[in-house]
Chain A
């Protein structure tokens, strides 16, 4: 069943760009925005969002995401009258190039990965992911099942704009017949988590092991969600940037609803449309149960890459404990990347990120979350790992700057 979430009265975008002073902003409260307009909120920073609806800017604010990542948030009160204007994408013509895609289509539903543009000349293989990476999600599989025409068009666009020699579609094993019509090479995935993890797909389906610490694109492989590819197809077909995102909504009861919402819609509106009630101390998770992230409020918007929204009842939330590792090794045996988590966690706990990376394979982690899932001591292992990677990268960047 597809639940169409009505157009919201207010939309919000987080753009990955940081501002220090208000005079660096390109938008201020009261400015008008047209539907399809490119919103590049910080002057001199190319990061942008694409207004899915028109209206009036009601607030521009600074937002801090996980691990201190800085965003500029912009909230628009929707004004139905302002939704007609054409976008500059339309003017750029239907013949999509890598430049027009980079300029206008990065925030299409599903989202185009930065690596597609940053490593454009290196990419030899594009993997279209028809299977969700995290458990419970069926968003990408939905596209393969129901939007094959758009997907094919999108594949055509990708062929033209990228130099990739090989285009592959990965699908869950059970869907072999649905994928067959796409006209590209099909790889079926094992039905077990985390088979759809990009690095495992690269290794198991393409026979390429991406070196730890470098992006898949650096190794020439670019992963794009099936939904994004279908969106590309629709963009070429209609000359408009599609604005509705498909989301697997998982209710407290475990029931799954496929919802379609305009990008920027507050998640609260999505849940209301799915008749799910959120109470005090419940948890809303964007992304799957293994790798997603919890959001602070029901105002948090649906973003281009929001594939799964889960609501957990306060009573279902497992706790974490501040205990030390008992060296049971459960994490080590479950880790698909063969990371010595039991040792790693000691160095991460002590803040020694350099040793963690050099000797205990911090950078080999493919971020599947299984170690923390299995840890009987309830140590937030995965959080330590992500923080460790972030701090390690930050430290290295700082060193490079001073060198």
Chain B
């Protein structure tokens, strides 16, 4: 007779690859910190203040919502902190505190928790929150206005704004190298292109974001910008400028790739990415907004459930 020791009984598989939601989010957080730190170096204490406030209030809102809805506390999975950091990335360094707090409230509570929390949000919460700020307080999201007092050693004008209203030759002074190194007026974490690229490669290689979306988004931007530029080089900037200015790189790496609001199948990922890229440049060149990334990705979020239905036939499926 065997002693009746209690054994653990659970279901297959009995192995796991060790990945976790928390690891995923903390890695993305880490990658986002590279350009954010560069932004803090450029803009100093105010930028640090915005980042700290955004991260802490995002966590706070999530905790509060967990308590109010009597669900397990999920702040440990890193998503709230990531949401806060990503929102701070997009904001100017001088953003008033109450806008930051409102922004994280919109992102975490309105655009994520109300839909059921992580994975249930149909739109990217950070972009949704940002879009609300952009429409509610357009002046506060205007980098020329917000960063006017800064003396940084480079031309403190939003390159996208300048190119849009005064033609691409007005931004000829921004070389690709300048843009890559963050010598442009913009969001705290969106200016330092090189940093975003490094972080992006890390995330793509580790599989935390889907490279298909990142690359197709950039291709969409480049091809559309090139088409406009070829048609009328005096009115429209070229592809390199569009790739490196504004939110493009951050959008490709950190926003278009948000799990819940983007497709998972190959063809849909490509359609989604390219569509977002095309839309970005369309809005920049012929729309009313200076930067099109936020709305372009939100529009693609909207059609994501529809396009993600395009998928290979499952094995053995009859008819």
Taking beta carbons and an 8 Å cutoff, which residues of A are in contact with B? 10, 199, 203, 209-213, 266, 268, 278-285, 287, 289-299, 310, 312, 314, 317-318, 320, 323-330, 332-333, 336-340, 342, 361, 363-364, 366, 369-370, 372-378, 380, 382-383, 386
Residue from B13, B24, B314 whose CB has the most chain A CB atoms within 10 Å:
B13
Say yes or no: A282 contacts B21, CB within 8 Å: no
Note all chain B residues with C-beta closer than 8 A to A278.
5, 7
- Sample 16 A-B pairs with CB under 8 A, ordered by A number: A212-B314, A212-B318, A292-B12, A294-B11, A295-B7, A297-B7, A298-B5, A338-B312, A364-B316, A369-B12, A373-B16, A373-B17, A378-B20, A380-B10, A380-B11, A382-B12
Say yes or no: B13 contacts A338, CB within 8 Å: no
Note all chain A residues with C-beta closer than 8 A to B8.
281-283, 294, 314, 317
In the complex, residue of chain A having the shortest beta-carbon distance to the beta carbon of B16: A318
Say yes or no: A342 contacts B264, CB within 8 Å: yes
Say yes or no: B9 contacts A291, CB within 8 Å: no
Given contacts A327-B260, A329-B210, contact A294 B7 (CB under 8 A): yes
In the complex, residue of chain B having the shortest beta-carbon distance to the beta carbon of A368: B13
Say yes or no: A318 contacts B15, CB within 8 Å: yes
Q: How far is the CA of A373 from the CA of B20 in the complex (A)?
A: 11
Please report whether the interface of chain A is mostly helix, strand, loop or mixed according to DSSP: loop
Give the shortest distance, in Å, between A264 (CB) and chain B (any CB). Answer: 14
Please report whether the interface of chain B is mostly helix, strand, loop or mixed according to DSSP: loop
Note all chain B residues with C-beta closer than 8 A to A370.
13
Give the shortest distance, in Å, between B35 (CB) and chain A (any CB). Answer: 23
Given contacts A211-B316, A372-B13, 7 further A-B contacts (CB under 8 A): A281-B7, A293-B11, A328-B24, A328-B259, A329-B263, A338-B315, A372-B12
Q: B60 at the A/B interface (Cβ < 8 Å)?
A: no
Say yes or no: A298 contacts B12, CB within 8 Å: no
Say yes or no: A376 contacts B24, CB within 8 Å: yes
Say yes or no: A338 contacts B210, CB within 8 Å: no
Residue from B3, B7, B19 whose CB has the most chain A CB atoms within 10 Å:
B7
Q: B175 at the A/B interface (Cβ < 8 Å)?
A: no
Note all chain B residues with C-beta closer than 8 A to A284.
7
In the complex, residue of chain B having the shortest beta-carbon distance to the beta carbon of A299: B2
Say yes or no: A297 contacts B315, CB within 8 Å: no
Given contacts A338-B311, A339-B314, A376-B23, contact A280 B10 (CB under 8 A): no
How many of B's residues come within 8 Å of A, CB to CB? 44
Say yes or no: A283 contacts B7, CB within 8 Å: yes
Q: How far is the CA of A318 from the CA of B17 in the complex (A)?
A: 10
Given contacts A278-B5, A324-B116, A328-B259, contact A373 B316 (CB under 8 A): no
Q: How far is the CA of A326 from the CA of B318 in the complex (A)?
A: 29
In the complex, residue of chain B having the shortest beta-carbon distance to the beta carbon of A294: B9
Chain B positions 119 through 151: 1 when the CB is less than 8 Å from some CB of chain A, otherwise 0: 110000000000000000000000000000000
Residue from B8, B120, B262 whose CB has the most chain A CB atoms within 10 Å:
B8
Given contacts A278-B7, A283-B7, A297-B4, contact A203 B315 (CB under 8 A): yes
Note all chain A residues with C-beta closer than 8 A to B2.
266, 268, 297-299
Say yes or no: B10 contacts A320, CB within 8 Å: yes
| A281 CB contact (under 8 Å) in B6, B24, B264 | B6
Say yes or no: B315 contacts A290, CB within 8 Å: no
Q: B170 at the A/B interface (Cβ < 8 Å)?
A: no
Q: How far is the CA of A376 from the CA of B259 in the complex (A)?
A: 12
